[in-house]
Structure 1
Amino acid sequence: MLDKYWKHFKSGTDIRGVASSGAPDEQAIDLTDENIEKMTAGFVLWLAAKTGTAPEKMTISVGHDSRISADRIQAAVLHALINAGCRVLCCGLASTPSMFMTTVELACTGAVQITASHHPFFRNGLKFFTRDGGLEGSDIEQILEHAQNGDTPPALQGTTEEVNYMAQYSARLRKMIQDGVKAEDYDHPLAGFHIVVDAGNGAGGFYAKDVLEPLGADISGSQFLEPDGMFPNHIPNPENEEAMKSVCAAVRKNHADLGVIFDTDVDRGGAVDHSGNEINRNRLVAIASAIALENAPGGTVVTDSVTSDGLKTYIEETLGGKQRRFKRGYKNVIDEALRLNKEGVDCPLAIETSGHAAMRENYFLDDGAYLVTKIIMKTAVLRGQGKDLEDLLAPLPEPAEAAEIRLPIMVEDFRTEGEAVLASLSTCAGHQPHWHIDPEGCEGVRIAFDEQAGDGWALLRLSVHDPILPLNIESNIAGGTTLIASQLYVNLRTHKNIDTSPLETFISND
């Protein structure tokens, strides 16, 4: 069993911790070289048991995003792998999806990506892959148990090689566009397209310079392409309001045809149409669903639980597919899609509103660059028909108002407390004449509200990792989200271990 210290490194299916100074409250660095070497040794032992391959027969790739602690952590990872006798491919600055692809195209036994996604500069972590994809939470626990116990492989001498795999990965994306667009000028299918890329100073700058520009695209106005682990301009996160405002403004300023934005390690992406309107969250899911269902008519799209009622109407009535709402968490929706396909259900796409999108045709890998590439290809095809992305999204019913309010849970055993709150709200909802619990709810409590009660819906659920109860509300009428929030507050205020002040602020600011 993991003790409290080692358990705190587990973040879902990743390992994360404090890797450099500058953290709030002067949090101590816990991703020390010693701990990283122990974790890496644990991965080698886990991988040996998983694959039946001796460490000295393994090839393991290592990459990192732009964080300031990347070089130090990479050195510790390499030291552990070399001492285990592994052949190590050093990929340098790389996207997380590309590191998975090394298991496919370079036949690596496993891969290690050094990243903490969109988290602050002082954090970092380790993400692991095999040819089967990313690891499960239980796999991370096994790796950390090895680290906790000080387990190490026999000491041997491995080797290292510098590999520019991102060049091969970029060439693959270019060929996708060339083959998909089928332009008269095969080598330059994006000639005449103006596309602004916002990499947020993460690892995604390659997309503008190595994918789009060689295909003839005008990338002027692209911003924050250079890696800078302090992220001085905005958080590299397609869900971040400031980040999306920045790329939307860049598209409008440069009169671009399209804008794209990535998170730090490029496993998530978002887009902006030529009018400067963001294609994010439900709109992004709608576009991805339209693309995926073209080759899977009537297929099922797995989404997370916070998608809108309008999206369900769009997928099922406009596109003729089916929607399967599932638990929040990108690995959850991917695993559900894998399960459905195994059972014979035609499921080409798993996607979260956060921007994690995994397509069956791409190994169900959540890859922001792959998703954006598919969107660009679709944009080019639509242009040939005299249409654009706005035409594709026109049938999508969108709410008049939407809000997300995060309610902190103020006790250590936050899961037990959160589950009690959810049970209480569910009981309350059953006694309200204009509230209706969603029978297809997959997590938390999702409630539909009649017209007189707010004409919309709300979902209260437990955060995947944190002591938080996120509350999502949508309404089809002006003032509806406040009306719904006010009704929910009557129940939620009775729970003394829940900080309802964010909800009070939301209601009072209307």
Structure 2
Amino acid sequence: MSTSLSNVENDTKLTLKKLKNGTDIRGIAIETKEHRETLSPEIVKLLGVGFSKWLKNRTNNKEFLKVALGMDSRLSGPKLKDSLVEALTSEGINVYDCGLTTTPSMFMTTILEDYKCDGAIMITASHLPYYYNGLKFFTVVGGCEKEDIEEIINLALEENLTYIKNAEGMLRKADLVEDYSKLLVNKVREAVGSEKPLKGTKIIVDAGNGAGGFFATKVLKNLGANIEGSQFLEPDGTFPNHIPNPENKEAMESIKNAVLNSKADLGIIFDTDVDRAAIVSKTGEEINKNALIALISYIIIKENKGATIVTDSITSTGLTKFIINLGGVHYRFKRGYKNVINEAKRLNGEGIVCPLAIETSGHAALKENYFLDDGAYLIVKILIEMSRLKKEDKDIAYLIKDLQHPLESEEKRIEIKCEDFRTYGQSVIEDLKEYVSKIEGWSVEPKNYDGIKINCNKEKGWFLLRVSLHEPLLALNIESDIKDGVKNIFSNIETFINNYNKLII
């Protein structure tokens, strides 16, 4: 296979740069009437070669490099995987084809004794619509950082570099889901001290037709749970039932109804590639976002007294009080799962006990699990605690009964109709500072890691405005503890936003 760009369209460089999405690659893999294909098999081949060169640089051209490949249930996954196989084996890389699997399990291929891969690539676009796809890259030290992605892209664009190349790489199949499931099952059994610790409980899974269906059949069932009532376990890249996303209202309503209809003790929902999760209690209480952070914080602080919990910036005031009352420290940081994970690592490096980094989106990373954001591992920690509560005949929601929820809260998305949306969005945020100074009782939060947070004393609340990480949007979160507080806060924001003709509420 030629790695030259001579036969590739002139806009290849621009296309590759645009595909960079933080620490991932994301683009349109299935062309539609509204969307032009940007993540083609040819582009993916180039990225595969770029990753190969990057790995060789990091390992001083070590012989017989091994790379694992996996994908979620997206329709475009198989053809993109075939492109990566061709690219990597042609560069002398030995490839483990893990088939349909989860993003966290792909990292574990660099750790597990039977794999010990030098790198891994997961083909996924998380919860985005079916026509998207993307790539996530891993090494034994974790997911690639922004700088690594830049370097991989630059190496993909190089035409005449010579690298030491072994003979054509080998391809082997691997049943990673089976191996990873055994790891999760053993984690619960060892912690609880029982072969079937979930016997006598009904726990159902909603996989949203993504890659998470295995958790019901290969984890819960083997731990003794009754999984009757689980739904959408079959992989289907069109996602015909609902978006596989624990933040989505329709998805959460679906698992809630399933729990109540089947009289289950617990409901579990995953996103497409299982790096995020949420749960529903037996009474139908949705435990996601702030409530999920509170629950796992309870478990972690019980194990690590005085622990610091790193979260993203849009967490509630009630969550802060809850963590403090547990004897922990709540450390808010900027939005983005890699941001909270890297900040937690930094704090640990300074000697601060920080065992958990978690976003309100459901990305939860524990120090004990390589700071890997893993929805399945998060649920395993909850199942262990649930097994203990079962003896006291208490529901999992009992652990967060003291969490104070805001009287009102709302999330809004404000469209930015502009090519350079990040620059435009940042200029709007800068202008907001001056506008806020003219409103009685409003003040800028002293510590702003992410966009701008405004405290609204009159409305007993706050709002945070930030540029979206992935889309041309301003994301707005509002919270208030008085009736019509959110409405009154938004009224002032709307007046401000109406001054900008490139913003659409």
TM-score by length of 2: 0.94
Structure-2 residue corresponding to 1:113: 122
Q: How much has 1:418 moved relative to structure 2? A: 1.4
Structure-2 residue corresponding to 1:145: 154
Moved more, 154-163 or 169-178: 154-163
Rounded to whole Å, the distance in 2 between the matches of 1:472 and 1:92 is 38
1:457 to 458, 462, 465: 462
* 1:310 equivalent in alignment to 2:318: yes
Structure-2 residue corresponding to 1:212: 220
2:43 to 30, 35, 42: 35
Q: How much has 1:491 moved relative to structure 2? A: 2.1
Q: How much has 1:150 moved relative to structure 2? A: 4.0
Deviations 1:76-116 (A, max 9, x none): 11111111111111111111100000100121100011111
Q: How much has 1:433 moved relative to structure 2? A: 2.5
1:10 to 14, 20, 23: 20
Rounded to whole Å, the distance in 1 between the matches of 2:314 and 2:493 is 17
Q: Which amino acid is 1:473 matched to?
A: I
Structure-2 residue corresponding to 1:507: none
Q: How much has 1:215 moved relative to structure 2? A: 1.2
Structure-2 residue corresponding to 1:394: 401
SS of the residue aligned with 2:120? strand
Structure-1 residue corresponding to 2:338: 331
Rounded to whole Å, the distance in 2 between the matches of 1:395 and 1:52 is 54
Rounded to whole Å, the distance in 1 between the matches of 2:153 and 2:397 is 47
Q: How much has 1:151 moved relative to structure 2? A: 6.0
Rounded to whole Å, the distance in 1 between the matches of 2:411 and 2:428 is 18
Rounded to whole Å, the distance in 2 between the matches of 1:190 and 1:197 is 14
Q: Is the 8 A contact 2:278 2:362 kept in 1?
A: yes
Pairs within 5 Å for 1:103-182 = 103-105=110-112, 106-150=115-159, 153=163, 156-182=167-193
CA separation of 1:279/1:150 partners in 2, compared to 1, >3 Å: closer, same or farther?
farther
Rounded to whole Å, the distance in 2 between the matches of 1:386 and 1:151 is 67
Structure-2 residue corresponding to 1:280: 288
Moved more, 138-147 or 95-104: 138-147
Q: Is the 8 A contact 2:16 2:43 kept in 1?
A: no
* 1:248 equivalent in alignment to 2:256: yes
Deviations 1:431-459 (A, max 9, x none): 33311322233221111212xx3221100
Structure-1 residue corresponding to 2:488: 483
The RMSD of aligned alpha carbons is 1.6
1:290 to 276, 298, 301: 298
Pairs within 5 Å for 1:180-199 = 180-182=191-193, 186-199=194-207
Rounded to whole Å, the distance in 2 between the matches of 1:24 and 1:143 is 31
Rounded to whole Å, the distance in 1 between the matches of 2:177 and 2:422 is 41
Q: How much has 1:3 moved relative to structure 2? A: 4.3
Q: How much has 1:320 moved relative to structure 2? A: 0.9
Deviations 1:390-414 (A, max 9, x none): 2211111101111111111222222
Structure-1 residue corresponding to 2:106: 99
SS of the residue aligned with 1:104? coil
Deviations 1:190-246 (A, max 9, x none): 101100100011110100000000111000000000111111111111111111100
Deviations 1:232-270 (A, max 9, x none): 111111111111100000000001000000011101011
SS of the residue aligned with 1:469? strand
Q: How much has 1:30 moved relative to structure 2? A: 2.5
Structure-2 residue corresponding to 1:506: none
Rounded to whole Å, the distance in 1 between the matches of 2:266 and 2:477 is 29
Q: Which amino acid is 1:214 matched to?
A: N
Structure-2 residue corresponding to 1:377: 384
Q: Is the 8 A contact 2:61 2:164 kept in 1?
A: no
SS of the residue aligned with 2:503? coil
Q: Is the 8 A contact 2:109 2:117 kept in 1?
A: yes
Q: Is the 8 A contact 1:425 1:492 kept in 2?
A: no
How many residues get paired?
A: 491
* 1:469 equivalent in alignment to 2:474: yes
Structure-1 residue corresponding to 2:499: 494
Q: How much has 1:492 moved relative to structure 2? A: 2.2
Structure-2 residue corresponding to 1:508: none
Q: Is the 8 A contact 1:251 1:259 kept in 2?
A: yes
SS of the residue aligned with 1:237? coil
* 1:228 equivalent in alignment to 2:236: yes
* 1:445 equivalent in alignment to 2:456: no
Deviations 1:118-168 (A, max 9, x none): 111111111110001001111111111222334675663110111112111
Q: Is the 8 A contact 1:38 1:150 kept in 2?
A: no
* 1:264 equivalent in alignment to 2:272: yes
Q: Which amino acid is 2:271 matched to?
A: D
SS of the residue aligned with 1:124? strand
SS of the residue aligned with 2:137? strand
